[in-house]
Amino acid sequence: MTKKKLSALSAGALALSLLLAEGVQADQTLEDAAHSEAANSHSQTDSAQAAPAVSQEQVAAAQAELDQANQSLHQGQANLAQSEAAAGAAQEQLTQAKSDADRAQELAAQATPEAIEQAKQQVAQQTDQLATSQSELAAADQAVTVAQDQRDSQAAAVQTAQEQVKLQEGQVSQAERGVSQAQADLSGESAAEAAQKVKSAQEKVAADKAAAEEARSALAKASQADSQNQAALQAAKTNQAQAEETLRTSQADLEAKTAQAGKTQTALNQAQQNLAAAQAAATVSNNQNKLYMTPEYIAALKQLADANTTQAQISQIEATLAGLNATVRAYNNYVADPNDSKVMVDTNNIPQNIRQELSLFASELINQLRGQMGTGQTLVTPSSLEFADKVAAEYRKDNWSWDLMNKYHHDAWGINRVAREYGLATTSAEQEQQGQQYYENALIWKEVVSQLSVAEMKKRIYESLVEFMFNGYEWLHAKSISGLNTGSQKNYLGVDFSTESDITMAHFTLVSEDQVKYATQNNFNANPIAASQGSGAADPQKVAQAQAAYDAALAADKQAQADKQAAQDSYNQAAAALEAAKAALAQAQSASSSLAQAQANLAAAEQQLAADQSALEAAQAALANLDLDEAAKQENLAQAQSVLASAQNALTSAQENLQAESSKLEQLESALAAAVQKRDSLQAAVAAAEAAVQAAQDNASALEKAEENLAQAQAALAAAQADYDAKLAAQAEQEAVLARLMAVQAAAQAVYDRLSQLYADQTAAERLSHYQSILATAEQNLPVLAAYSQPADPANQAAAKHRQAAASENSLPKTGHDLSHWILLSGHLLLLMVLSLFYKKKTRE
């Protein structure tokens, strides 16, 4: 019996587990039924008092409204930042315009006929002073030349005096040897010794003759070289003077060209701002989408596109752009237009009118970027639409895929085939193999989307442009979309979509003015398609005027910058030429000293030859005079001593002359240094006089045109004031818009929070009510089933009635009672199954 009860209990537990397992899948159905019943009950019996039910769709709608409010808030913050930047720039322009107008007002007040006449007289005086300074400079240059010549002549005289001293020193040495020989004769030299001295003297004389001949040859070469050096020296002096004058002239020209380039750059900046303002003011678009770049991002991208940027700089700039990417990208969020069509369109067969709408939408967004960058605008034309559509068709013909995209990126073969239809330039076969082409920016999704609505396509266009500009690594797209690769040229834009084997693509094709201009065929229709009201059209006249002014300012600035660079190159060349002329002069001056050395060498050789010849003659005489008597030898000694004394006196005179000539040379060198210093001072005076003449001329011209300049400055001030007021008003409007958006966002957040909380509370209450109904049902049925196995007990019946009444109440249980109810329910169900099995068994028996 016990085993049978345990088996029945086990079977009951198994059945309970199966029942619970099935209940997991059925909970949702039961819960939905409970929701339906509760809703019906509320609408029929308690609609005046119960809170209204909240659906999941209402919560989702509130979430969508909150997302839209967040996007609008982010866009409002970006718009305000842009307006603040524009107002700041306008304020700087206004400050400058006020300063210019104040200076013009002061100058106009000073521009009396007397002041103008006085300014003209000042010009004449400064011009006379310049002429005087130039004349004095010419005289100083001549004085320097004369002083250099005198110094050079005196240096030659000193060299001659030095040679004379050496010659006299040789004479003294020779006389000393004569005295020594005479003294040796008196001492009684032998015939063998005298003969040996004659032989030695003859050998010295022979060697001295060879040395003297070599010195003469060297002197001849040195003389020829000295003649060339003198000519080179004179030419070097002339070249240096010319180089100094050229440098002064080029420096003045560079200063003037630099000032002009600064003016044209300022004018270009203003024209660029005016063009952007004209484009923004003339826009009548209902499109709320904006694309914004920060000034730091614009400057870095421009520097990256500069042809003069080095590879090392490129890496640094790309790192800077990547660092700015997340911040700038966060400013750009898509705003959906509820009026855009939701009708699905075949991605591979988009009607022409829709392609036109999409292309005009993309053109407006791209032109926002190009207005900030200061580059040429995009236009949508019949041929640009056709070009993009044909490119998309070529992708389909070539069955493009994700793998082909990873290998080649673009279908350069197909794009070039389309380009050839219009006679446009194409890449080479080798470049095609690398996917290189001139016309397309494309975004590719690894998905097959056979149909898209206009609303979805516009969203994808916006997101594609954001990806092109701010994906953090692919800067070629950013330069192409922002117009940096074509500068001020207009670009003809077409946009299309296509779906291939396993991808979906957005095609953005751009054809520049020059590409159309130099095409080999004349079949590209570049006439702009006018945008309809509300699609981003601009007033052609105002924009054309601003564009023409910008083009003129750009051309003037390019010319001024080119002139400045040319002047800088000329100045650099003049400075280099002056340094070269100085080096050539120094070389010529050092080269002239070789003649003096050759002359000194020859003089020394001849002096040595003369001395050795005298020694030879003395030795020969000594040999011949061996038989002379004592009186003759005494006479020879006296005569030799007399010659020595005369030679010593001559040497003293030569030394005194050398000292005098050296003193004169020192004086002439001091005079030359003074002349050079005076010449340099006059050069500075000439430069100052030239600047004074220019300043006087500018002052006179400013006084003569004071009224005209004042009118222009006042007009510029009025324009700057109006522009600043407009920018300030726009900023205030954006601040108000942002305040409204913040309020809308806060309200949407509050609505979403309230509905989501109500929905969560409602769901929890419904689930609890559902579980309570199950429990009540079980408790109600339990006594009925138990009646089959035991007699009725009035106390049990009263307890059951009490439990039924408690379960019927629509109230939440106290916290902590859930576990006991579940345990009780499980026990009741288990007991119910056991009793049921036991009842069936008794029935069969």
Q: Alpha carbon of 72 to those of 35, 618, 726, 738: distances in Å?
A: 36, 123, 23, 9
- DSSP-assigned letter for residue 376: P
Classify residue 565: in a domain, yes or no: no
DSSP string, 99-110: HHHHHHHHHHHH
**Per-residue confidence (pLDDT) for residue 190, from 0 to 100:** 64
- Residue 580, C-beta contacts closer than 8 angstroms, at least 6 positions apart: 243
Q: Alpha carbon of 282 to those of 279, 306, 370, 533, 543: distances in Å?
A: 5, 31, 16, 12, 8
Q: Give the end of a domain, one of 689, 717, 740.
A: 689
> Which alpha helices (DSSP H) does 592-629 contain, by range?
593-624
Strand order in the sheet with 440-445: 378-379, 491-499, 504-512, 440-445
Classify residue 309: in a domain, yes or no: yes
**Per-residue confidence (pLDDT) for residue 834, from 0 to 100:** 60
- Same domain? For 161 and 249 the reply is yes
Q: Alpha carbon of 526 to those of 378, 385, 456, 515, 522: distances in Å?
A: 11, 10, 29, 11, 10
Q: If DSSP codes are grouped into helix, strand and coil, which group holds residue 499?
A: strand
Q: Alpha carbon of 719 to those of 712, 722, 723, 724: distances in Å?
A: 10, 5, 6, 8
User: HSE-up of 265 (CA within 13 Å, CB side)?
Assistant: 10
Classify residue 312: in a domain, yes or no: yes
Query: Which sign does the torsion angle of CA 344, 346, 347, 351 carry?
Result: negative
Closest CA to 86 of 737, 720, 733, 731: 731
Give the Cα separation of 416 and 396 in Å (integer): 15
- DSSP-assigned letter for residue 626: G
User: HSE-up of 577 (CA within 13 Å, CB side)?
Assistant: 19
Q: Which segments in the chain show pLDDT lower than 70?
A: 1-52, 74, 185-191, 276-286, 532-544, 590-593, 625-631, 771, 774-845
First to last CA, the chain: 15
**Per-residue confidence (pLDDT) for residue 6, from 0 to 100:** 34
In this predicted model, what pLDDT tens digit does every residue of 261-272 receive, in sequence order? 999 988 888 887
Classify residue 108: in a domain, yes or no: no
Q: Which residues of 254-273 are buried (b: 16+ CB within 10 A; e: fewer)?
A: beebeebbeebbebbebbbb
| Beta strands 491-499; 378-379: pairing state | parallel
- Same domain? For 374 and 484 the reply is yes
- Same domain? For 313 and 417 the reply is yes
Give the Cα separation of 116 and 128 in Å (integer): 18
Q: Give the end of a domain, one of 647, 663, 689.
A: 689
Asked if 493 and 440 count as a contact pair (C-beta separation under 8 A), the reply is: no
Residue with tokens 């660029």: 272
- Same domain? For 414 and 528 the reply is yes
Asked if 387 and 422 count as a contact pair (C-beta separation under 8 A), the reply is: yes
- Same domain? For 384 and 241 the reply is no
Paired tokens of 783: 């006594």
Give the Cα separation of 514 and 494 in Å (integer): 17
Q: Largest Cα–Cα distance in the chain?
A: 194
Residue 406, judged by CB atoms within 10 A of its CB (0-12, 13-18, 19+), counts as exposed
Paired tokens of 175: 């006389």
CA–CA–CA angle 85, 89, 90 (5° rounding): 115
- Same domain? For 177 and 226 the reply is yes
How many CB atoms are closer than 10 A to CB 328?
20
Classify residue 505: in a domain, yes or no: yes
How many CB atoms are closer than 10 A to CB 453?
15
Three-class DSSP labels, 556-567: HHHHHHHHHHHH
**Per-residue confidence (pLDDT) for residue 110, from 0 to 100:** 84
Q: Phi/psi zone of residue 325: left (φ > 0), alpha (ψ -120 to 50 degrees), beta?
A: alpha
- Same domain? For 827 and 773 the reply is yes
Q: Give the end of a domain, one of 674, 689, 704.
A: 689
**Per-residue confidence (pLDDT) for residue 779, from 0 to 100:** 56
Domain containing residue 519: 284-537
Q: Which residues lie across from 497 on neighbouring strands?
A: 506
Classify residue 279: in a domain, yes or no: no
Asked if 371 and 279 count as a contact pair (C-beta separation under 8 A), the reply is: yes
φ, ψ of residue 506 to 5 degrees: the values are -115, 120
Three-class DSSP labels, 524-540: CCCCCCCCCCCCCCCCH
Give the Cα separation of 177 and 171 in Å (integer): 10
Give the Cα separation of 397 and 403 in Å (integer): 16
Closest CA to 807 of 787, 781, 785, 836: 781
- Residue 138, C-beta contacts closer than 8 angstroms, at least 6 positions apart: none
- Same domain? For 300 and 376 the reply is yes
User: HSE-up of 37 (CA within 13 Å, CB side)?
Assistant: 11
Q: Alpha carbon of 309 to those of 316, 318, 719: distances in Å?
A: 11, 12, 37
Give the Cα separation of 660 and 643 in Å (integer): 26
Give the Cα separation of 643 and 651 in Å (integer): 12
Query: Which sign does the torsion angle of CA 210, 216, 219, 220 carry?
Result: negative
Residue with tokens 């002329």: 581
- Residue 715, C-beta contacts closer than 8 angstroms, at least 6 positions apart: none
- Same domain? For 228 and 300 the reply is no
How many CB atoms are closer than 10 A to CB 746?
12
Q: To which H or E segment does residue 638 belong?
A: helix 630-704
- Same domain? For 369 and 446 the reply is yes
Three-class DSSP labels, 163-203: HHHHHHHHHHHHHHHHHHHHHHHHHCCCHHHHHHHHHHHHH
Asked if 294 and 327 count as a contact pair (C-beta separation under 8 A), the reply is: yes
Residue with tokens 């020595």: 644
Number of domains in the chain: 3
Q: To which H or E segment does residue 525 belong?
A: none
Q: Which residues lie across from 444 on neighbouring strands?
A: 505
- DSSP-assigned letter for residue 625: G
Asked if 494 and 380 count as a contact pair (C-beta separation under 8 A), the reply is: yes
CA–CA–CA angle 295, 553, 285 (5° rounding): 55
Residue with tokens 């930042």: 81
- Same domain? For 238 and 342 the reply is no
Asked if 96 and 273 count as a contact pair (C-beta separation under 8 A), the reply is: no
Q: Alpha carbon of 144 to those of 149, 152, 238, 520: distances in Å?
A: 9, 12, 12, 67
CA–CA–CA angle 513, 518, 523 (5° rounding): 80
- Same domain? For 454 and 313 the reply is yes
**Per-residue confidence (pLDDT) for residue 504, from 0 to 100:** 96
Classify residue 600: in a domain, yes or no: yes
Classify residue 780: in a domain, yes or no: yes
